[in-house]
Amino acid sequence: MNSYYQRNVRPKPLDMPEKSPAQDDGGWKSASSSDAKSSGLRYSTNVNGSTPTHSGRPSKTKKQQQRLSLGSPPLIHPTGPNRTIAKLRQLLTISPGYAQDVLMFADTCYLNHEYHRAIHAIKKADLVQVDNVHAIRSSTLKAFLLLGQCMLAIKQREECLDLIGKVLPENENAIIAFARRFDRDNEDPDDAVSINIVSALALLMGETFEAVGNRDNAAVYFRISLRCDVYNSEAFFHLFDKQMLSSDEEKKLVASLNFSMDELGLLRLLYQSHIGKYDASPTISEKFNDVEEKCGMKGNLDLNIVKAETYYYQHDIQKANEICEWVRDEDPFNSRLITVYVATLVELGKKRELYHYAHQMVDVYPKKASAWYTVGCYYLLVKKYEAAQRYFHKATTLEPTYAPAWIGFGNSFAAQDESDQAMSSYRTASSLFPGSHLPPLFIGMEHLRTNNLLQAIEFIKQASSICSTDPLVYNELGTVYYKQKNYPKAIEMFTKALQLCKHLPERLMEAWEPTLFNLGYSHRKMRHRF
């Protein structure tokens, strides 16, 4: 998801102590129940890389609606998957060498979490024996995909990388050219709504690299997957929800995608709504107008979550909170809402609401990191830092790649002046969210707090290179230059921060009063008169 970290997200005046909220001594009781599943918009595929189809050849508009659908459950016998497997096993007895029957059997085993059984069936039928990659068929690639998914599920990650590496070319352009060989055939209704099989293989490669901790290679393969098939939005959400790309890289990627098949224009608008969340132009209402009004998506929950994130990033916390409250009324257990909603509650100091929401999330999602992250944020808000650290630790134990919890860890340590542990947590978050400028910004702010100005300016500049449109970055840069007595440079940075805020309504400018104060104080040091 995105980063909402509740550390000094508003500028502070120079050399002035930060005001603290009132203490709340509310107690906490953790509850447990069965884990529920979230409902989030995902234009996803099933395990064999395709979405269910209807009989007959669909129209072009119908195809796009099908490909943008939420997906459907696989065909399972009404009495359960075990009955389905038994029926397919009987079918294999009749035609043991028929590849489609073997794949259907293995696919059903995969869906029933019988991964070793699926692997055995595919290998026994020799479905991944390839003499000439250049003459490989789509059905063979589907066998590679399913076998790789099973290997990843049982943590045979290196074996999965070796397997997919046998059929995917080594460089990006070659993979994209390879994918064109398997572009959907408009005459075939099955291919008309399916994800390109090469794109699905690249997606699996990215997920496997991510599982072994190689996030750089993971980002490369997610990008390749999306370029192979713009409809493979699972790759898109990997890149954007996990902030694997910088702001400029996100814009360049979306601009480079081939939307020629997107005749409705909906997919392009959906993707564009996820980029430029810090950009002042176009305004947020302008940015979402087309996809909401022209495409009828105004009531879409996931689009509204993205809209709330955008308002939050542009420091309109109240508006972000209002949207989150509406989404929560419509879908109280939407797990994608948790991070941004918690951020708004912390920023607005709504302790009681956060307390009750944290209880609810832990009851519903006792095995989700985001639920325990919510508890940690509550204790961070009421300044019970040791308790906050316990729950952030629990969140990172459940999901070590959940970056917001690492940021929460860092904030709780920073609040106790434990700089080394704080910066260690921020570095972990930075490695998990390389496209987010907030972890290096917070590292720079921690160096600034300890008066290590050279290190501070290095990390804050790194943050500005990732996101050049967040005014908070330039306020912090100005503060460093001021402490270095480089007053002209400080004036330049404070002025730039205020210029980036000039589009904000008057009710939001109060939050940037410290930056104006800092600018005035810098001019005073230069003995400027106006």
Q: For 502-515, write each residue's pLDDT tens digit.
A: 877 777 887 888 99
User: What's the pLDDT score for residue 183?
Assistant: 79
3-state helix, strand, coil in the chain (%, to 5): 65, 0, 35
Cα dihedral sign, 200-205-211-216: negative
Q: What's the per-residue H, E or C state across 218-254? A: HHHHHHHHHHHCCCCHHHHHHHHHCCCCCHHHHHHHH
pLDDT at residue 477 greater than cutoff 70:
yes
What average pLDDT score do residues 288-314 get? 90
How wide is the angle at C-alpha 68 spanned by C-alphas 251 and 4, nearest 5°?
45
Over the stretch 445-461, which tens digit does the pLDDT of each residue have?
A: 999 999 999 999 999 99
Instruction: Give φ, ψ of 448 to 5 degrees.
Output: -65, -40
Whole-number Cα distances in Å, 132 to 122, 173, 256? 19, 20, 32
Q: What pLDDT, on a 0 to 100 scale, did the predictor assign at position 449?
A: 93
Higher pLDDT, 341 or 247: 341
- pLDDT at position 50, please? 39
**Of 79-83, 131-135, 300-304, 490-494, where does mean pLDDT reach its minimum?**
79-83
* Domains recognised in the chain with CATH numbers: 42-73+128-264 (1.25.40)
Tell me the CA distances in angstroms from 443 to 410, 420, 439, 470, 520, one per residue in order: 9, 10, 6, 16, 26
219-236 mean pLDDT: 94
Cα 395 to Cα 405: distance, rounded to the nearest angstrom: 6
Phi, psi of 182 (to 5 degrees): -115, 20
Q: How far from each other are the two terminal CA atoms of the chain, in whole angstroms? A: 46
- Tokens matching residue 285: 């209402």
Rounded to whole angstroms, the Cα distance separating 237 from 243 reads 9
- Contact between residue 338 and residue 38 where contact means Cβ atoms under 8 Å apart: no
Section 390-397 average pLDDT:
97
The Cα 243–Cα 249 span in angstroms is 11
Which three-class secondary structure state does DSSP give residue 452?
Answer: coil
Name which residue leads in pLDDT, 86 or 344: 344
pLDDT tens digits for range 351-372:
999 999 999 999 999 999 999 9
Cα–Cα distance, 147 to 522 (Å, whole number): 63
Give the DSSP H/E element, type plus range, for residue 200.
Answer: helix 197-211
pLDDT at 7: 55
Nearest to 442 by CA among 80, 8, 57: 8
419 pLDDT above the threshold of 90: yes
CA angle at 44 for the pair 40 and 46, rounded to the nearest 5°: 125
Q: What is the residue-averaged pLDDT of the chain?
A: 83
Question: Binning pLDDT at 50, 70 and 90, where does residue 69 land?
Answer: very low
> 35 or 271: which carries more pLDDT confidence?
271
Distance from C-alpha of 29 to C-alpha of 344, rounded to nearest angstrom: 23
Q: Give the pLDDT score at 290.
A: 85
Residue 51 burial (CB count, 10 A):
20
- Provide the 3-class DSSP secondary structure of residue 458: helix
Interatomic CA distance for residues 58 and 64, integer angstroms: 9
**Count of other CB atoms within 10 angstroms of residue 460:** 29
5-19: average pLDDT = 50
Q: What single letter denotes the amino acid at residue 500?
A: L
Q: The whole model's pTM is what?
A: 0.79
- DSSP H/E element including 191: helix 189-192
pLDDT-derived band of residue 12, with 50, 70 and 90 as boundaries?
Answer: low
Asked if 65 and 231 count as a contact pair (C-beta separation under 8 A), the reply is no
Nearest C-alpha neighbor of 481 from the set 467, 465, 468, 497: 497
Q: Quote the pLDDT of residue 134.
A: 79
Contact criterion met (CB below 8 Å) for 503 and 280: yes
Q: Kindly give the interhelix angle for 487-499 and 471-483, rounded to the nearest 10 degrees.
A: 170
What confidence tier does 86 reach under pLDDT thresholds 50, 70, 90? low
Distance, CA of 397 to chain centre? 19
Q: Which two tokens stand for residue 515?
A: 């930056």
Band (98; pLDDT cuts 50, 70, 90):
low
What is the predicted pLDDT for the residue at 27?
Answer: 46
Q: What does R_g of the chain's alpha carbons equal in angstroms?
A: 25
